[in-house]
Structure 1
Amino acid sequence: MSRALMMSIAAVERDTGLSKDTLRIWEKRYGFPLPTRDTQGERCYPMEQVERLRVIKRLLDVGHRPGRVVNLPPDDLQTLADRSADAQGQPPRAGRGRQVGPSERAPDAAPLPPARLGFAAPSLPERWVDDALARVDQHDVAGLKRLLAQAVPTLGLARFITDACAPLLQAMGEGWLRGRFQVPQEHWVSQCLQQSLHAAIHALPPTDPAQAPRVLLSTFPGEPHALGLLMVEGWLTLQGAQVINLGAQTPTADLIEACEHHQADVVALSFSASAPAHLVQEALPTFRSRLPARVAVWAGGRNPLLARRAPAGVLVLDDLNSLSRAVHAWHDARVAPGDGSRA
């Protein structure tokens, strides 16, 4: 990507378990984290800082004090994390801890995972994918589930999506083309990923409905791929959206009815590379014309027709970064400055 992935302060709060007050106080007291500001003046954090915050949070959970760890250089922080992991000698419990206040430590602390808590060395995703593919080769469903269960708390949901789900799916697709994997293997891998994503998404604290865009998520009939919807649901939830995931292949009439019922602000649709051309060229513009003007339509996925022939009134999103920017733009347009209410 040409621009670094950024996360809002609300997304960082949900991802790390560190409260907004904690992040602001550390910024003033320790000079870290160092957010930028979006067009509305809200704090935004690059992924490198979020990864460092995850490590700091886990160190706090096992008894370290903020003043001794927040200002540590990344290498020293990782060394301390590795030592703490060795001292704990056991894997972490699943799930996220509660939020930690400015001068508070979680009493029910989860032990540190055994390696690379937040700083992913360039080879980490590749090694993880290779290990996962070996489980698929061996038809080891339980083994893959264990890998996924370890990856979610280690990476956090955002990087689980970008560094685990996405590369594993790409490798599975390449393996299928080469004859390495068969359709049944693709199906159970997809089910394992969906289960992990469901659990991780449901473990997130709820968003504030008064400040969150309500996003209806689905695909048109003829587009059966549901796993991508879950990845988008997770990413949108981290960005502070209130997501209603209808699953794949929702008839357009039902989509319109659901949009009215839920008073959706956005309908987000996914189009895979193999989606029939008429879904982009005909069904999408027709659907846009049948919705009220106040409802935004976002379209994403790997279908090349989206970039070449984007219908009028449809925002085409080509990656997760553009999805994040779309949520921020919604806030810029709909939320009055200094006010959490809808404009």
Structure 2
Amino acid sequence: MYSVKATAGLTGLTPETLRAWERRYAAVVPHRDDKGRRSYDAAMLQRLTLLYRLTDRGHAISRLAALDDAALQGLLEDSRQLAYGAVDDLPGRMLDAIADYQVDVFDRELTVAIATLPLSVLIGRLVNPLLHEVGVRWADGRLAIAQERLVSSLLQARLLSILNQHPREHKARVLFATLPGEQHQLGLIGAALQAFDAGVPVLYLGAELPAVELARVANRVQAAAVAISSIYPAHAGQVLDELRSLDAALHADIPVWLGGANAAYLGEELALPRLRVIGSADALRHLALRV
């Protein structure tokens, strides 16, 4: 439990503002001892911090106080997204640079974005649109194979650096990998970053890891889940066999998260109780927040 003074210091509010929010809007209802002194628990501190951040962005406390914590968190995320309007022009500029083989320009723009943007904005407003635009330009002939590979290699190197530059003190909870035959990693890296942004300690193992080896690592570190991406239809049969091997070798209490273009098909074919098919970023974040 936290006193009024401690709560004000931790949330950024003044004691006077805290009292006013309680009295006028019932933003939180503090605990009181037998002498009437107020105290606050950790959940109240989290809510007050959300309220403080949103009022600092111009939202009225009279409107915010009626919202639950999930709605406040969503509103804060929307505010963060709107604050980075210039990001929407970046994918086009970066690919124009790659079209002229100006690798230094592309890399500089990407490095600055990684250093300055929240991960949710980086993935949702830069990386995903960039990958979509790569596909469009490659299909209509504006991007050569060499240029597409340049984008992939630069993105992969820089995004993996995010996972490696802030090592977690806690043991790995979710392992990310692809199985043999699946070389494509960008979608998997994006998923790992989303889990990382949700506060989950991530161990990124990369592409084409045999199922038996993946199970050995997951069992050894007592992972909370194993996340796998599969996108190549031609390799779906091989991945099916590997997933069966993974299911046989993995401890019974470790779920498997499956994403990518093949995920729905693989999930239907296997029908394994431990398998969770992930069809969207929101679904992944929901699972990550439960770890």
Q: TM-score, normalised by structure 1?
A: 0.61
- Residues 236, 253 of structure 1: CA spacing in aligned structure 2 closer, same or farther, 3 A cutoff? same
**Superposition RMSD on alpha carbons, in Å?**
3.1
- When residues 260 and 44 of structure 1 are mapped into structure 2, their CA distance, relative to the original with a 3 A threshold, is farther
1:128 counterpart letter in structure 2: L
In 2, the alpha carbon distance for the partners of 1:238 and 1:33 equals: 26
Amino acid in the other structure paired with 1:323: L
**Which amino acid letter does the alignment assign opposite residue 227 of structure 1?**
L
2:83 is aligned with 1:119: yes
Question: 1:264, 1:282 → 2: CA distance?
Answer: 22
- Report what 2:211 is aligned to: 252
Residue by residue, what CA displacement relative to the aligned partner does 1:226-266 show, whole Å, maximum 9, x if unpaired?
22222122111111211111110001121121112222121
Indicate conservation of the 8 Å contact 1:298/1:316, yes or no.
yes
Match of 1:188 among 143, 150, 159: 150
Distance 1:319 1:44 in 2: 22
Amino acid of the structure 1 residue aligned with 2:248: S
**Paired residues, number:** 239
Q: TM-score, normalised by structure 2?
A: 0.71
Opposite residue 144 of structure 2, the aligned amino acid is Q
Q: How many angstroms apart in 1 are the aligned matches of 2:256 and 2:73?
A: 27
Aligned residues with identical type, % of pairs: 26
Q: Is 1:311 the counterpart of 2:275 in the alignment?
A: no
Aligned mates of 1:289, 1:33 — CA distance in 2: 50
More helix by proportion, 1 or 2? 2
Q: Give the match for residue 286 of structure 2.
A: 325
Name the residue aligned to 1:99.
Answer: none
From the CA coordinates, give the structure whose radius of gyration is larger.
2
Secondary structure in structure 2 of the residue aligned to 1:246: strand
For residue 242 of structure 1, what is the aligned residue in structure 2?
Answer: 201
Which letter does structure 2 place at the counterpart of 1:134?
Answer: D
Task: State whether residues 229 and 245 of structure 1, in contact with CA within 8 Å, keep that contact through their aligned partners in structure 2.
Answer: no
**Aligned counterparts of 2:103 and 2:66: Cα–Cα separation in 1:** 42
1:283 corresponding residue in structure 2: 242
RCO greater where, 1 or 2, for CA within 8 Å and sep 6 or more? 1
Question: Is contact 1:268–1:299 with CA below 8 Å preserved after alignment?
Answer: yes
Give me the whole-angstrom Cα distance separating, in 2, the residues matched to 1:243 and 1:33. Answer: 35
Give the match for residue 296 of structure 1.
Answer: 255
Unpaired runs of 5+ in structure 2?
Answer: 1-42, 56-60
| Residue 82 (structure 2) pairs with residue 49 (structure 1) | no
**Shift in Å, 1:315:** 0.4
Give the partner amino acid of 2:206: G
Tell me how far apart the structure 1 counterparts of residues 226 and 91 of structure 2 sit (CA, whole Å).
32
CA contact (8 A) 2:219 2:250 kept: no
CA contact (8 A) 2:258 2:278 kept: yes
Matches within 5 A, 1:127-146: 127-146=89-108
The one-letter code sitting in structure 1 at the alignment partner of 2:265 is L
